[in-house]
Amino acid sequence: MTGRLVLAATPIGDVEDASLRLRRLLTEADVVAAEDTRRLHALATRMGVRIGGRVVSYHEHNESARAQELLDVVASGGTVLVVTDAGMPAVSDPGFRVVAAAVAAGLPVTAAPGPSAVLTALALSGLPTDRFCFEGFLPRKPGERSRALLELAGERRTMVFFEAPHRLHAMLEAMVDAFGGDRPAAVCRELTKTYEEVRRAPVAELAAWAGAGEVRGEISVVVAGAPQSAATPVATLVVEVLSRVDAGERLKEAVREVAEATGTSKRDLYAAALARRG
């Protein structure tokens, strides 16, 4: 007899979003693996639920080491419930490693779906939802962040990001450089909470708003994809140029070849590449 591993979504704000299935699983699971055990107990108290099994910590610093311990419980016939502080485990949160290990071991894995900051932000953004991608948190270092955004400059799908409030202004400014200031976007703050706010505007306008005062709370940023009719932006070509330079090609030679192949101004491309390297 084998048990099962269950990933369960927890409320991202409003405790009333907790599903009946989550409530039952918290009382029935043999082991509850929580990203933060104190937050889990606080959530259970607000839900009026008594956790029935053993509670263990399962976070980014111990998930690899603890995965086998959790799977031993499943293999012996027990139910292991994995929860994070908010939203769905394994989506920009711990959970992927234990799921991968369970799949490799042939053990049952299922999910109790529920609240998702990604889908909630996407739905409220007012931007196209038929095709989208989730990019999570961008790199913290300015150069790495700019490079990541430049690689996404030609992405046609709507993009969803997470960001810390104290880095939001810098993130939006980098998006202005990579995508252009007129790219439609939405900043979603404190979703499902008392002070929920969704600001929809071009990226440049959102950057000015974020820089004008302190922004607080949990932040999701949704950005429209590149227009179908838009020519390949210089920012995207810069990525190709710098990739060639990283591979050993001289900057001027890389600029010349990329500019000739795309009909782009060599002077503009060279200046953009120098600015990005700096």
Q: State the pLDDT at residue 1.
A: 59
User: If you compute the radius of gyration of the chain from its CA atoms, what whole number of angstroms results?
Assistant: 22
Please report the pLDDT score of residue 275 as a whole number: 82
Q: Is 228 contained in some domain?
A: no
Identify the segments of the chain with pLDDT beneath 50.
none
User: Do 202 and 241 reside in the same domain of the chain?
Assistant: no
Rounded Cα–Cα distance for residues 241 and 273 (Å):
7
Any idea what DSSP says for residue 22? Answer: H
How far apart, in Å, are the Cα atoms of 152 and each of 173, 184, 238? 15, 15, 12
d(C-alpha 215, C-alpha 36), whole Å:
25
Number of structural domains (the chain) is 3
Query: Does residue 216 share a domain with residue 125?
Result: yes
Residue 30 falls inside a structural domain: yes
Task: Write down the pLDDT at residue 177.
Answer: 87
Nearest 5°: CA angle at 113, between 110 and 116? 135
Let me know whether 30 and 95 are in one domain. Answer: yes
pLDDT on residue 168: 97
> Considering the entire predicted model, what is its pTM?
0.81
Tell me: the pLDDT tens digits for 25-51? 999 999 999 999 999 999 999 999 999
Do residues 67 and 101 touch, judged by C-beta distance below 8 A?
yes
Q: Which structural domain, as residue segments, surrounds residue 251?
A: 234-277
What local confidence, expressed as pLDDT, does residue 86 receive? 95
pLDDT tens profile 221-246: 999 998 875 556 677 788 889 888 98
> Residue 229 falls within a domain, yes or no?
no
Q: Which residues contact 49 (CB under 8 A, 6 or more apart)?
A: 23, 26, 27
Residues 196 and 107 in one domain: no
Structure tokens at 258: 């990329």
Give, in order, the Cα–Cα distances in Å from 216 to each of 9, 65, 142, 222: 24, 34, 21, 17
| pLDDT at residue 59, rounded to an integer | 93
